[in-house]
Amino acid sequence: MFSFQDQFSAATKANFEAQVALMTTLTSKAFEGVEKLVELNLTAVKSTLEESTNNAKQLMAAKDPQEFMTLATSQAKPTAEKAQAYGRHVASIASEAQAELTRAAEAQIAETSRKVSALVDDVSKNAPAGSENLVAMVKSVISNANAGYEQLTKTTKQAVQTMEANVHSATEQFTQATEKATRAKK
């Protein structure tokens, strides 16, 4: 049978290895998100430069102020729509990265919690008589920590949902304002 020190040492080693694996996973997921944002930004910059050049050429070719205003108005809506699409894409990348990071962290925390509970159960079986209150207190602390984590997770998910709803609402308002301005100029 293992002694308490051996059990604790094995649990500590396993926990350290799990934390390293978690950090590797989280770092990998974070870099994937950054790569997607960089790719999106490069594509957006390239596209914007090309479109700006074409739009400027069209505006410079206008023969009178009326044609200039018509061209400027016709260019406004597609530009606004592309800005909205860009914003939605950025929000999607951020949301996806956050969800993946949350899943990885939740899985690791659940596994660590399970292992700690198993360690406490194993140690409590070999605990000296009279230590029942201490074992109950440790189990209570673990249970309270898990409940606190679950509440934090729920609150974080609600905050993310609220942020996503606000981004969606702002995008909709921007779309409506752009369409209204475009109609007014016509």
Cβ neighbourhood burial of 5 (10 Å; 0-12, 13-18, 19+): exposed
How many structural domains is the chain composed of?
1
Mean pLDDT, rounded, for 8-35: 82
Determine the average pLDDT of the residues in 6-26.
78
Question: Does residue 177 or residue 66 have the better pLDDT?
Answer: 66
Q: What is the pLDDT of residues 56-69, one digit of tens each?
A: 999 999 999 999 98
Over residues 76-131, the pLDDT tens digits come to 888 878 888 888 888 888 888 888 888 887 787 788 778 777 877 777 777 777 77
- Per-residue confidence (pLDDT) for residue 1, from 0 to 100: 45
The CA distances from residue 186 to 59, 83, 181, in Å, are 17, 21, 9
Q: How many CB atoms lie within 10 A of CB 13?
A: 10
Tell me which amino acid residue 60 is: M
Polymer length in residues for the chain: 186
pTM for the predicted model, two decimal places: 0.62
The CA distance from 12 to 153, in Å, is: 25
* pLDDT at 141 exceeding the cut of 70: yes
Rounded Cα distance, 175 and 78, in Å: 11
Confidence of residue 41 (pLDDT cuts 50, 70, 90): very high
- The mean pLDDT value of the chain amounts to 81
For the ranges 2-6, 31-35, 51-55, the lowest mean pLDDT is seen at: 2-6
149-170 burial: b if 16+ Cβ within 10 Å, else e:
eeeeeeeeeeeeeeeeeebeee
Q: Which residue has the tokens 């729920």?
A: 154
Which value, to the nearest 10 degrees, does the dihedral of the CA atoms of residues 88, 94, 96, 99 take?
-140
> In terms of residue numbers, what domain contains 48?
4-185
The sign of the CA dihedral 87, 89, 92, 94 is: negative
